């Protein structure tokens, strides 16, 4: 979890430094590939943090100090935040699809023609 966070911070600093040095968004092949490869690191950090939190309770349960039902985080009315987060994610997914479709439909020329024009 910490390693993922540090890697993302280092990548952000590197991209910021390159943007400042070249007075624009860095578009080198290696930096773009690195950014894409680092994309899942945020999710990995979240899942690793959750595992550390939940698995940290297990030694106490295993050694008989605490029962499993006592180790569960009490959360009354858990359905309310679950429904709210689900609705937010559905809304964001629909908005993303709408914006991506609008962006792709705006371009009249095929991608191959755009690439040859810019070269």
Mean pLDDT of 44-71: 78
Give whole-number Cα distances, 20 to 13, 24, 31, 34, 42, in Å. Answer: 10, 7, 14, 18, 24
pLDDT digits (tens, 9 = 90+) for 17-29: 988 988 888 888 8
Give whole-number Cα distances, 117 to 24, 47, 97, 105, 110, in Å. Answer: 20, 43, 28, 19, 11
Alpha carbon distance 32, 25 (integer Å): 10
Given this model, what pLDDT does residue 87 score?
A: 97
pTM (2 decimals)?
A: 0.51
Given this model, what pLDDT does residue 9 score?
A: 95
Given this model, what pLDDT does residue 61 score?
A: 67
Given this model, what pLDDT does residue 29 score?
A: 87
Residue 77 has pLDDT above 80, yes or no: yes
Alpha carbon distance 117, 111 (integer Å): 10
pLDDT digits (tens, 9 = 90+) for 85-119: 999 999 999 999 999 998 888 766 665 665 666 55
Mean pLDDT of 33-57: 88
């Amino acid at each position: 979890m910490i390693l993922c966070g540090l890697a993302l911070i280092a990548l952000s600093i590197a991209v910021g430094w390159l943007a400042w040095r070249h007075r624009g968004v860095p578009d080198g092949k290696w930096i773009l590939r690195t950014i894409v490869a680092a994309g899942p690191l945020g999710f990995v950090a979240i899942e690793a943090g959750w595992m550390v939190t939940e698995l940290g309770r297990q030694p106490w349960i295993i050694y008989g100090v605490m029962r499993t039902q006592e180790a569960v985080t009490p959360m009354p009315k858990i359905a309310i935040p679950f429904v709210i987060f689900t609705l937010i994610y559905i809304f964001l997914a629909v908005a993303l699809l709408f914006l991506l479709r609008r962006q792709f439909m705006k371009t009249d020329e095929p991608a191959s023609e755009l690439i040859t024009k810019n070269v």
